[in-house]
Amino acid sequence: MSAQHRSIALSKEDLNKGVAIQGYAGSFHQEAAQLFLGKDVNVIPCATFREVIRIASEPSLSAGAVMAIENSIAGSILPNYNLLQKSDLRVVGEIYLQIRQHLMVNKGVQLEDIKEVHSHPMALLQCTDFLDKHNWKLLETEDTALSAKHVQQHRAKHTAAIASRIAAELYSLDIIAPDIHTLKNNYTRFLVLRRVAEAETIMEADKSSLYFETDHSKGSLARVLTRIAAEGINLSKLQSFPIPGSEWKYFFHADMEFESMDQFNDVLKGLKEITQELKVYGIYKKGKTV
């Protein structure tokens, strides 16, 4: 597994220090981190996304983070946008990972030996068509990778797990049934985050994520969107969030794709004139789908 999709490079020291991820070793977060940053990158498992941001913000603890932000089926992970908005982290890259679920067992276990299957409830739901063909007991767990680890640690002969290919590799399990997810076009978008001081300039950047607030007068959002369109910018995402403590006022997260930095700087200058607050989360290269 190489870092052929990455647009930034970490030093050997940073690779050793590692990046924070949500979940356990063998999770899809780890797979995304390795695909973007290289297989040598260490990961720092965190129980929650809030902990991911906390670890990523501390220079002595990590070199940054890889954090899921949206899924093609489930939609945006709204709390993560709020965490990003309140942090001092910057987006330096992104990757779109196809979520592929596999049924895995200890070596020598056959399909007819299985009596129960362990995995995260979302993973079980994603594999309903396959699971309905078998009379197995389904047990919900907190994490797909943790399910794989449990099967391996207990040397289970009648238990299987649903998890990622990297989990099977990490825990020396055999994939007895690959790609058992019902919907094949299931992708999660992950952001690569670094602290402001270490967020290097990305060569050939063509995408930006930013936050803005309007004055909430009639037509204020329309003026922003018109300005973006007039500059030939592709608005690939617009997400609204209520401003805490306000009466039905909102701030917005936007992802914009552009052809040159001059084009982006022009639209940024225009947006500063018609917004109350504007914050650029990051300027980076548009991610690839893997």
Tell me the average confidence (pLDDT) per consecutive run of 10 residues in the chain, 290 residues long.
51 88 94 94 95 97 97 91 94 96 97 97 94 97 95 96 97 98 94 92 92 89 95 95 82 96 95 94 93
Where does the chain hold its CATH 3.40.190.10 domain(s)? 12-99+186-198, 102-177
- What is the topology classification, in CATH, of domain 102-177? D-Maltodextrin-Binding Protein; domain 2 (3.40.190)
Residues sharing a CB contact under 8 Å with residue 215, sequence separation 6 or more, in sequence order: 276
Question: Which among 91, 45, 105 has a CA at the least distance from the CA of 200?
Answer: 91
Q: Residue 280: which of 91, 93, 95 has the closest Cα?
A: 91
274: its two tokens: 């018609």
- The fold of the 12-99+186-198 domain, in CATH, is D-Maltodextrin-Binding Protein; domain 2 (3.40.190)
For 207-284, which CATH superfamily applies? Answer: ACT domain (3.30.70.260)
Task: Return residue ranges of the chain for CATH 3.30.70.260.
Answer: 207-284
pTM of full prediction above 0.85: yes
- CA–CA separation, 37 vs 32, rounded Å? 8
